[in-house]
């Protein structure tokens, strides 16, 4: 299959950077999926969506004269990339985070009170 603009091909993710992911295409050529072309939702970290050796379907969106190939995941799979990233699906809810924070805060406060009371003599301590 030739690598022409508009074709949808399958490739393997070979590298991930802060600005995109490199995908090896059929024939041994490599293209780049820019971070803006990974998903329909905002992508802060590509590692939330892709990892090395993932097989992906990509659409070739550009081939420049120097041989650089621009790819898009979201244009090749418009319905599957609307979901939340892998990590976000397992994050605790706001209420869970708040409850954890309150518990840790109460524990820190009680530790602090115990430390200050022992330095001042505390309750019922022996006094002269």
Quick one: which H or E segment has residue 117?
Answer: helix 94-120
Torsion of CA 69, 5, 75, 1, to 10 degrees: -90
Whole-angstrom Cα distance, residue 41 to residue 27? Answer: 31
Sole residue written with tokens 């524990």: 107
- pLDDT digit string (tens) for 33-56? 999 998 888 888 898 889 999 999
Q: Which CATH number fits the domain 8-85, given the four candidates 3.40.640.10, 3.40.109.10, 3.40.50.800, 2.40.50.140?
A: 2.40.50.140
Q: Average pLDDT for residues 47-73, to the nearest whole number? A: 90
Taking the model in full, what pTM does it have? 0.58
> Higher-confidence residue: 4 or 63?
63
Rounded to whole angstroms, the Cα distance separating 31 from 27 reads 12
Percent of all residues in the chain with a pLDDT value above 70, rounded to a whole number = 80
> Domain extents for the chain?
8-85, 88-118
| Conformation bin of residue 54: beta by default, left when phi > 0, alpha when psi is -120 to 50 | beta
**Backbone torsions φ then ψ of 80, nearest 5 degrees:** -85, -15
């Amino acid at each position: 299959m030739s690598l022409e603009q508009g074709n949808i091909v399958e490739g393997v993710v070979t590298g991930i950077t802060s600005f995109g992911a490199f995908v090896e295409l059929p024939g041994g050529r490599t293209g780049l999926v820019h971070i803006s072309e990974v998903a329909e939702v905002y992508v802060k970290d590509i590692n939330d969506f892709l990892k090395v050796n993932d097989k992906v379907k990509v659409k070739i969106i550009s081939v420049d004269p120097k041989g650089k190939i621009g790819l898009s995941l979201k244009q090749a799979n418009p319905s599957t990339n609307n979901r939340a990233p892998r990590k976000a699906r397992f994050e605790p809810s706001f209420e869970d985070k708040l409850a954890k924070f309150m518990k840790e805060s109460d524990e820190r406060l009680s530790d602090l009170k115990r430390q200050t009371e022992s330095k001042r003599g505390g309750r019922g301590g022996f006094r002269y």
